[in-house]
């Protein structure tokens, strides 16, 4: 774990590394490589329990994803879009687009079977977060996590070569499995929906700091993804440069202490995604 001046250096240096990568220069060495490997381990484990459960955790039968198609329906199916659009998904979309109230979303989040699924997934994520990052109320952890999401959004993490090797050549997931980054832009908002659903159920509890930090990380990672990788339109003031990287990092640290502000930013990014403007 990095602390104090080391973490500040890492945060600033990551922005420089982005610019260097765009210029085709050699990748960063030393402390940046160590941090990138830690971040990759976090995303690897998240994926291992969810979308790649059949490779790494077959004992779950896809419970933390969309099930195995037979005996296990999967928890995500109860609140995220798949073959159908659950009522809570529609409520979040309408709330984010300012077409309906937050009260409607809260109502859908508190439906017993939805709440049970949302909270079970949250318990898994909480356990994994504490293992990889620690106490989310610690500012050093907050800075570290925001930096991880910035790297993830910009596709700066080391390749997942060993992971990809475990997939057969005819598996359509093999290419995506070779990288630690976001392949489908709607997943940013699906993750935000989950965090906001937990907040709608629990409000502020002992794990609120972690959820605020993760929501802030989504706002940072989504913006970085849209700007650096061009998945979608983002704010006009953002560019693929050092200044934007530092701005996103600093705003992420601020949003980490304010769940409402982080949610507001995610909603604005969703409106830009849907409409090309904030509102």
Question: Token pair for residue 142?
Answer: 């907050």
pLDDT of residue 279: 63
Q: Mean pLDDT of residues grouped by 10 in the chain (279 residues)? A: 40 45 47 87 98 98 97 98 95 98 98 98 98 97 96 94 96 95 94 98 97 98 94 87 93 97 97 85
Q: Which of 238, 117, 226, 245 is nearest to 181 (CA)?
A: 226
- The full length of the chain comes to 279
pLDDT of residue 232: 85
Number of H helices, E strands in the chain: 13, 0
Pairwise CA distance, residues 99 & 238, whole Å: 27
Pairwise CA distance, residues 33 & 137, whole Å: 25
Task: Report, in angstroms and rounded to the nearest whole number, the Rg of the chain calculated over CA atoms.
Answer: 18
**Are 220 and 265 contacting, i.e. CB atoms less than 8 angstroms apart?**
no
Q: Is the pTM of this model over 0.75?
A: yes
Question: Token pair for residue 168?
Answer: 């057969």
- Tell me the Ramachandran region of residue 246: left when phi exceeds 0, alpha when psi lies from -120 to 50, beta otherwise: alpha
pLDDT of residue 2: 38
């Amino acid at each position: 774990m990095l602390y104090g001046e080391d973490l500040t250096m890492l945060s600033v240096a990551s922005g420089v590394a982005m610019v260097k990568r765009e210029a085709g220069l050699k990748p960063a060495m030393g402390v940046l490589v160590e941090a990138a490997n830690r971040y990759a381990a976090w995303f690897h484990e998240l994926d291992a329990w969810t979308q790649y459960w059949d490779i790494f955790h077959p004992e779950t039968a896809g419970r933390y994803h969309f099930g195995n198609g037979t005996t296990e329906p999967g928890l995500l199916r109860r609140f995220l879009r798949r073959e159908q659009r659950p009522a809570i998904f529609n409520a979040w979309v309408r709330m984010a687009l300012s077409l309906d109230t937050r009260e409607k979303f809260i109502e859908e989040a508190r439906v017993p079977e939805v709440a049970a699924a949302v909270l079970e997934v949250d318990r898994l994520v909480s356990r994994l977060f504490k293992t990889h990052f620690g106490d989310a109320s610690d500012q050093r952890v907050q800075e570290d996590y925001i930096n991880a999401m910035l790297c993830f959004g910009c596709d700066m993490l080391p390749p997942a070569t060993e992971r990809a090797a475990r997939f057969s050549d005819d598996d359509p997931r093999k290419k995506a499995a070779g990288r630690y980054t976001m392949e489908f832009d709607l997943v940013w908002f699906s993750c935000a929906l989950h965090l906001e659903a937990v907040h709608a159920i629990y409000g502020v509890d002992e794990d609120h700091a972690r959820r605020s930090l993760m929501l802030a990380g989504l706002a940072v990672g989504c913006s970085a993804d849209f700007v650096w990788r061009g998945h979608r339109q983002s704010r006009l003031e953002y560019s693929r440069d050092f200044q934007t990287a530092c701005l996103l990092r600093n705003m992420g640290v601020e949003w980490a202490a304010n769940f409402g502000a982080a949610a507001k930013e995610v909603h604005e990014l969703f409106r830009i995604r849907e409409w090309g403007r904030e509102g």
